[in-house]
Structure 1
């Protein structure tokens, strides 16, 4: 055996301090976006049954949650609104007194340093649950763009730092960029849901946001999970239209897409660690089948290693606590 020549890779794994010295990928609370569901009403803190420890918040109870987020070192949140009323054109989405707009103003007044991202879509606000105007059972692309631009401008007026359109209409980034620029918000960046697959991992979110389609599905505008090259085309289109960040959603089953989008675009990439991914780990940990802390941190590390610069995750608060030690 003494004459064998081989590499001793284990030399760099001998202790925790050595492993830390050579660790290639790091994650911190600064990498996380914390999602928030805000609702009309008072004294509401509704836990989402399919997403343990995730809540719908009324604005009178929101401050404590925001204070905790800031204390943990998380620097950004994204807002999803559940309105009091819905209609066929999602008018609550672009109402200056809508639930998201009110939440933006409240958060920015209390913590101006916190980056507030507004999810920009119509599905939570339409009575049919689709992400655009519907006529004769078809989601219409171009008429929807005007409403998305109105929504983005309303959110920017309220103080949103970043607009995050998630609707997957063709041309949505161009329409929103034009609308923002025309309204004097040329410095407000767009975090585009550039690559959003028609995934089975979204179920718990639809419980939280009350956004389940009332007919059909979203496969005519969200992407086919089988397609890789299409993701590159989608990302490139959004870059050309003026996107500043590119979201890949979901994350865990699409790590290959995260890497390709990062390598080919060079743009900041956001991994959306979606509700179904969260719910599965919560269910397994509650049954004692996995170590929640270890598996969550490993999962988040995999997204960062794959090329994500930012991770939008329902684990944000727990992960920030664990990383503090």
Structure 2
């Protein structure tokens, strides 16, 4: 297939684009390479994928300029903003995609409390532009990143895609729920096969510097303390990056179909009479935050000083994915153990940042 992957300088997008290119798909990646977090990690991901010429010269990538990977000749990258509707439309008209996977977004729960505009521009306007581009260019296969954050005040454990998610507690979560509603509308009106993926705390090598694992390892190696929110009474369904990518690829290969049994009175929230579907992708094995920190300490061979703090606005105390639909429909369940995933992340971190532990 010819597949557009958005957010290809990002954590999940970079990993997905490489995996699709490895198996032979023609991949076009876009990203605006913003400075929300350390851009050296974003450029590092692009270098890993073979986009090295300008980066090695110390030059930035020009807006709207195509680069071709030296590792994967079937993988091209272009720097674009999703909220640039004119350029997005031109891209779709020129490339004739078979499928689109939208992993570009303004991420972060806490950042949405202080910079709400960024979430509207990227997550709402940007996603709207993709829907319109799919509509007007006959692209029927659209998958996109949602988030476990949409569950908000929901207290049913484990979280099911059929639970009520009408009570988000951050603008980030509200923007992701909006994506699901917008996608359903376009599925119903225009027959676009849309699949939303509610990711649960993704971690692993090349991960985001604003996430807990990155922050904890960095602080530990620098001999600094870490902030532990809700006094450590948190549960997270940490999901390793390779498991996430396997789930996403299976979704791309199996686009949503209408649920012929669905009706407005008894129909499930995760399906529709339109070609629309929602999946959780999580490890289905939540880990206590203190156990997560202990796994980092085990790998580093040192104790980390901890600042015990109250829960932060927008945070939920626990996440736990019900992935029954993923297993039933796609025959897949994430299963990487937390210690294995943390070990791989720490090994990557030490190599990428050239940390000498001696």
Q: TM-score range by the shorter chain?
A: 0.3 to 0.5
Give the structure-1-normalised TM-score.
Answer: 0.34
Give the structure-2-normalised TM-score.
Answer: 0.32
